[in-house]
Amino acid sequence: MLELVVKRLVLSIPTLFLVTLMVFALQKLLPGDPITAMAGEERDPEVIQMLRDKYHLDDPIPSQYFHWLGNALRGDLGVSLRTQEPVMKLIASKLPVTMELSLLSMIIALAIGISMGVLAAVRKGTWVDYSANIVALSGISIPNFWLGVLLILVFSVKLQWLPASGYVPFSEDPLQNLKTLLLPSLVLGTGLSAVLMRHTRASMIAIMKADYIRTARAKGLLSKKVILKHALRNALIPIVTLTTLLFGELLGGAVLTEQVFTIPGFGKMIVDSVFNRDYAVVQGVVMVVAIGFLFLNLLADVLYVLINPRMRNA
């Protein structure tokens, strides 16, 4: 197990290096100059030159890259050009919000997706299977922002059960925190559950045709035990990888949902930083998301081995 982790970590180093190159190169292609915005309305040339010297923007591009990379390796992702706050401080304040939203969304997605996928596979060809596929297709097709607005109209405006927007930290009021995150979590979890349902169904159907499943049934084992203990455990192997990748997408891709529900998380910070041309924040956020993806892929490999003991000697 330790050898697997070390091997994956070594392979992650060149991937992370390429990510840093792409992040730095792409931010150079963004239109506009943040320094002119920081200099104020008068835009004194001396102030502009002072700011450009401060942030090394007149240095050659390779020098700018290695200066930024060296600081990043020491945990210094720079300072926001707009608020003058350290990027790490901003990320530390926004990351727990998106992590909480992503975790709740993934719990909803797994609960709905896996249960519906197993049920559709066991009842293949029946009205249960067709209904589950229709629901899954609808979940994949409906845009998040449209579903979010619809849920706000129903549960916030009409029924007045849940708040339409905003966020309350868990430390302040746990119940209100759950209420503010429930609707956006349902929006994100519904789309993910549709993807998980389709993959779980396909994996379960393939597993149910295996010889060892027929042998287990021939031995007289209860159908429930065959499905849950033998079939589902092996069917979950590809679902583990899919789940980790989907969780990574949630960390960096919940932009529209956070905007609709005014959740002060990663997604909203990315949008605001791009519009404000706050390059340091954009770079820092993308770097953290990339590291998160690499960690989740490593976690998927470890869980793969834990679920399937045959891979321990692979």
Domain ranges of the chain: 90-277+294-313
Three-state DSSP state, 40: coil
**What kind of architecture, by CATH, is found in domain 90-277+294-313?**
Orthogonal Bundle (1.10)
**Residue 79 gets which letter from DSSP?**
B
* pLDDT at residue number 2: 67
Given a cut of 80, whether residue 277 has pLDDT beyond it is no
275 phi and psi angles, rounded to 5 deg: -65, -35
CA distance 59 to 55: 9
Q: Which residue has the tokens 């229709």?
A: 134
Residues in a beta bridge with 86: 79
Measured over the CA atoms of residue 276, residue 280, residue 286 and residue 288, the dihedral's sign is negative
Given a cut of 70, whether residue 128 has pLDDT beyond it is yes
**% of the chain exceeding 70 in pLDDT:** 85
> Where does the pLDDT of residue 42 fall: very low under 50, low under 70, confident under 90, or very high at 90 and above?
low
Predicted confidence (pLDDT) per residue in 192-247, tens digit: 888 888 888 888 888 877 777 777 677 666 577 777 776 777 777 778 878 887 88
* pLDDT at residue number 43: 64
* pLDDT at residue number 230: 67
Query: Hey, what are 131's tokens?
Result: 């209904």
Amino acid at 208: M
Given a cut of 60, whether residue 313 has pLDDT beyond it is no
How far is Cα of residue 268 from the mean position of the Cα atoms in its chain?
Answer: 14
